[in-house]
Chains A and B, each alone.
Chain A
Amino acid sequence: EDQVTQSPEALRLQEGESSSLNCSYTVSGLRGLFWYRQDPGKGPEFLFTLYSAGEEKEKERLKATLTKKESFLHITAPKPEDSATYLCAVQTGANNLFFGTGTRLTVIP
């Protein structure tokens, strides 16, 4: 059964304290993995797409990496405005799309 699991469910960081969010998946063939950011009361906002193991993408303080079993979203020296829920989504070989339940990040000044 296709499954996407994100951990931790919630993460509290001090401003400047770097960390990583995890998205692990067991799916029948990976066609793409997406990271989104969601603020309260808003729809998800696209961050990155990764297509193959070893691929990395960066944007400001965020860096996404991909292996054959999981993806990490690394946050370097986070700021309070990075507080949000981060969602990953996996497009499978059977052309389905599954979202994880997200990691709720809080960055404390």
Chain B
Amino acid sequence: DAGVIQSPRHEVTEMGQEVTLRCKPISGHNSLFWYRQTMMRGLELLIYFNNNVPIDDSGMPEDRFSAKMPNASFSTLKIQPSEPRDSAVYFCASSLGQLDQPQHFGDGTRLSIL
């Protein structure tokens, strides 16, 4: 079975540019989660969707961050404009259920903002 697929795996861009991260969840899963992982703060939940609807975006750090889920098989996380402090590994995960169920993670996008 295909797991959660994220693209790109690595992204290097200059400050001020728009960055779009993509995620394809596991087929049949009804919840999708976006996380950010840094050495200092660990893994932080940014936003999650249930049945394509955003449920909780309280973890989104600033208005520069936005996420969409136009259908059950695709989601994007966008940063515009990007800043060096946004450099981190961004993970997408999906699950059958919401926060109370085990999540299946992709292998992440390593983002570097110069």
Report which A residues bind B (CB closer than 8 A). 31-32, 34, 41-46, 49, 87, 89, 91, 95-102
- Provide the B52-85 mask, 1 if CB < 8 A to any CB of A, else 0: 0000101000000000000000000000000000
> What is the interface of chain A mostly: helix, strand, loop, or mixed?
strand
**Contact A95 B99, CB 8 Å, known A43-B4, A87-B43, A102-B42:** yes
A43–B105 contact, CB under 8 A?
yes
Q: Which residues of A contact B29 (CB under 8 A)?
A: none
Residue from B91, B103, B106 within 8 A of A46 (CB atoms)? B103
Residue of A nearest to B3 (CB): A43
**B107 in the interface (beta carbon within 8 A):** yes
Residue of B nearest to A48 (CB): B102
Residue of B nearest to A91 (CB): B99
A5 to chain B, nearest CB (A): 11
Q: Which residues of A contact B99 (CB under 8 A)?
A: 31-32, 91, 95-97
- Size category of the B interface is 20 to 34
Kindly list 13 other residue pairs between chains A and B, CB separation below 8 angstroms, not including A31-B99, A91-B100, A95-B56: A31-B100, A34-B102, A43-B93, A44-B43, A44-B93, A44-B103, A46-B103, A95-B99, A96-B99, A97-B45, A100-B42, A101-B41, A101-B42
Residue of A nearest to B33 (CB): A97
**B108 in the interface (beta carbon within 8 A):** yes
B11 to chain A, nearest CB (A): 15
Q: Can you report 5 A-B residue pairs in the complex whose CB atoms are below 8 A from each other?
A: A43-B108, A87-B42, A87-B43, A101-B41, A101-B42
A43–B91 contact, CB under 8 A?
yes
Residue of B nearest to A51 (CB): B100
**Contact A43 B42, CB 8 Å, known A31-B100, A32-B100, A95-B99:** no
Q: Give Cα A96–Cα B46 distance, bound, in whole angstroms.
A: 11
B43–A99 contact, CB under 8 A?
yes
The 8 closest A-B pairs by CB, nearest first: A43-B105, A101-B42, A46-B102, A99-B43, A97-B99, A91-B99, A44-B105, A43-B107
